[in-house]
Structure 1
Amino acid sequence: MAKLPLDAIDKGALAEAAAVLGTRTPEGTVAAALREIVECREPGRAVAGVPEDLPADTALIRMWHKGDAPDGPRAELLDGEIVPRPTPGHFHDLPGRTFVRHTPEPFEAWNGRGLLVADDYRPRADAVVIRSADRPAGNEADWPARIVLAVVETVSTTRTAIRRDREDKRERYAQVGIPVYVIVDPNDATWHVLRLDGRHYVETAKGVFGQDIPMPEPMRFTVRTAGWHPYGGKAA
């Protein structure tokens, strides 16, 4: 595989650079291409300010911190891998948008926020619910998990994405003590509310699109799902 001009990388155009390297398979390929960029560094040169002797995994994390990772396609940093998320359709985005528009005071919901779960694990949740008073005063790209009351993830259609939302993120969010995890699945038009019990989540409510979601303590508000669409189907 040919090396890329360092100028392209220094300008932060990693997404385009990855495309030049060749990303012909769906998920994970861009991350592999980015790793190839790092490993193609010429001796004595630095990529976007990253020392050339830095291990590839560490270099990718450093690029994330510096803002040189591809942000346009909603990239996530998951277990040290930069995983771009394709731009979803509005059926996928509607649940997160509903939380943002209808979460009442003294709470507020945000979508697309990066979460600092670990230094090498910074997912972008479809929605997070926090207390308004806990909103960070600075302009941090990734919010600390300790301020999050609930995280909402809308499941995509691929097996990798389904496993990531239902298993991987469930485990990682529990490890950092996020009290509530809401999984919305347009594949079967269902939603699931999970509450933290010790170090693991336990499902405490579930329903189908069209039924309201009861958010647990301390939030105690409901989220209407009327109008949510299953993939390939009609609104509830």
Structure 2
Amino acid sequence: MTAAVFSHSGPWTETEYLALGETRDRVELFDGSLHVTPAPTPRHQHISRRLGNALETGAEAVGLHVLEAVNVRLQPGRIPIPDLVVTGEIDFDELVVDGTAVRLVCEISSPSNAATDKVLKMHYYATARIPWYLLAEQDTGTLRLHRLDGSHYVEHAVAKPGDVLRLAEPIAAEIRPEGLLPGR
């Protein structure tokens, strides 16, 4: 992948981006530019797995799916890879999940990507009209649930370690933030 990225000139098209195939790095496409980050830390992945597990039962109960680290097309040429998504019906063999199928998007923020998750991606997800955005902050263990209100997100609920985050939409779930964190 490295040679293809460095030898490329000009903006990236969606076709060129998808032709990169699977990589060890997370490579996202934002309006002709690639955003490349290394594979997540074990802490990040532990939180992601536990968060996905916490959402799974509620999703299955209403016919939705929980997916981890998939390409989501928010609009042509804008394809992030959220940490988790809850979707309606999709084609499980397609390279990209259409953003219109996403009911809830989850990002796990770390100090190195906090601005991307709290500003850029939040804006892009709102523009794509994804109804719910859940941000898990690795450094504090805080969960912040946002709901779409018009063209932007508003904070709907916050849970810190010791609290419980209760979701009623798009699925029913109760999440204890401290249960997501690895033992210290």
Q: In the alignment, which of 140, 143, 152 is matched to residue 106 of structure 2? A: 152
How big is the shift at 1:188?
2.1
TM-score in terms of structure 1 length:
0.68
| 1:126 maps onto 2:83 in alignment | yes
| 1:189 maps onto 2:159 in alignment | no
| Secondary structure of the corresponding residue to residue 44 of structure 2 | helix
In structure 2, C-alpha distance between the alignment counterparts of 1:214 and 1:197, rounded to whole Å: 19
TM-score in terms of structure 2 length:
0.86
Structure 2 equivalent of residue 143 of structure 1: 97
Structure 2 equivalent of residue 212 of structure 1: 164
**1:209·1:229 contact (CA, 8 Å) conserved in 2?**
no
| Secondary structure of the corresponding residue to residue 26 of structure 2 | coil
**2:167·2:174 contact (CA, 8 Å) conserved in 1?**
yes
Gaps of 5+ in 1: 1-13, 19-33, 40-55
How big is the shift at 1:138?
5.1
Pairing 1:1-236 to 2, within 5 Å after superposition: 14-15=1-2, 17=3, 34=5, 36-39=6-9, 56-58=10-12, 60-65=13-18, 67-68=19-20, 71-102=23-54, 103-104=56-57, 105=60, 106=62, 107-131=64-88, 134=89, 136-137=90-91, 139-158=93-112, 161-229=113-181, 235=184
Larger radius of gyration: 1
For residues 202 and 216 of structure 1, do their structure 2 counterparts lie closer, same or farther at Cα, with a shift above 3 Å needed?
Answer: farther
How big is the shift at 1:120?
1.9
**1:99·1:109 contact (CA, 8 Å) conserved in 2?**
no
Query: Which residue type is aligned with residue 11 of structure 2?
Result: D
**2:51·2:180 contact (CA, 8 Å) conserved in 1?**
no
In structure 2, C-alpha distance between the alignment counterparts of 1:70 and 1:130, rounded to whole Å: 22
Identity %: 25
| Secondary structure of the corresponding residue to residue 163 of structure 1 | helix
| Secondary structure of the corresponding residue to residue 11 of structure 2 | helix
Q: What count of residue pairs does the alignment treat as equivalent?
A: 179
How big is the shift at 1:167?
0.5
In structure 2, C-alpha distance between the alignment counterparts of 1:100 and 1:203, rounded to whole Å: 21
Larger % of strand: which?
2
